[in-house]
Amino acid sequence: MQIDTLSTPNGIEHPQDAPFIIATDTPLPLPRVDAERGVFLTSIHTEVQLSGQKISSLMLERIVNEGKPKIPMIEVTLLGKHKQIQANPNDPGYVALLQEWQGEQNIRVMRYMFCVGVKGQPPQEFVDTHRLFLPDATDLDLKYLWVTSLVPDDDIDSFTAAILGQSITTQKGLEEAANFSE
């Protein structure tokens, strides 16, 4: 029995009924990563150059836990005579501090990911304009603001996922994958 085969542009033959994708000139939906060029394409066609640097899970954990308020302790009397120290996570002051910390930690995580995960620095015109309004901003603050100005709000989740991909596929890697045979 002979199986009809199809040849792909790289010369690899596949059975005719094998599932594979035929490349067309139809553009892929945005936002997405162009792995060959190492860029994130936003839904408004802005290109953000990814650095390809690995996002350290240990660093993320440290950033997440930094500054977390400690649960206050209170002394309670058990059975009318035994005193014991217990955590009081319902303390209104603690709850307010915890909510403030949670909001700040989300921004710290995104700042780290965007500053490490994106290649390059903001253009001088961006820096000059924003320094007028934020004179105490650090270079990292300005890079974070620049990156967030490039990526629409609706694309942030996709962009974050692209950065967390931890590595960028290179042209060499794509060629090696295409030439891989079992």
User: Residue 82: pLDDT band by 50, 70, 90 thresholds?
Assistant: confident
Contact 143, 118 (CB under 8 A): yes
Query: CB pairs under 8 A, 24+ apart, for 153-160?
Result: 154/43, 155/31, 155/42, 155/43, 158/31, 158/32, 158/40, 159/31, 159/40, 159/42, 159/48, 160/110, 160/113
DSSP track, 134-161: -TT--HHHHHHHHHHHHS-GGGHHHHHH
pLDDT tens for residues 42-75?
Answer: 999 899 999 988 888 888 889 888 999 999 999 8
Instruction: Report d(CA 94, CA 7) in Å as an integer.
Output: 65
Report residue 15: phi and psi, to 5°: -60, 145
Residue 162 has pLDDT above 70, yes or no: yes
Residue 103 has pLDDT above 70, yes or no: yes
Contacts of 146 (CB under 8 A, 6+ apart): 121, 122, 123, 126
Stronger pLDDT, 46 or 174, i.e. the higher one? 46
pLDDT tens for residues 119-144?
Answer: 999 999 999 999 999 999 999 999 99
The pLDDT value given to residue 77? 84
Contact 180, 41 (CB under 8 A): no
Average pLDDT over residues 16-35: 65
* Kind plus residue range of the DSSP H or E element containing 162: helix 156-164
The pLDDT value given to residue 56? 84
Cis peptide bond prior to 31, omega within 30° of 0? yes
Strand order in the sheet with 47-49: 32-34, 39-41, 47-49
Domain boundaries, the chain: 5-178
* Range in 20-24, 49-53, 71-75, 170-174 the model is least confident about: 20-24
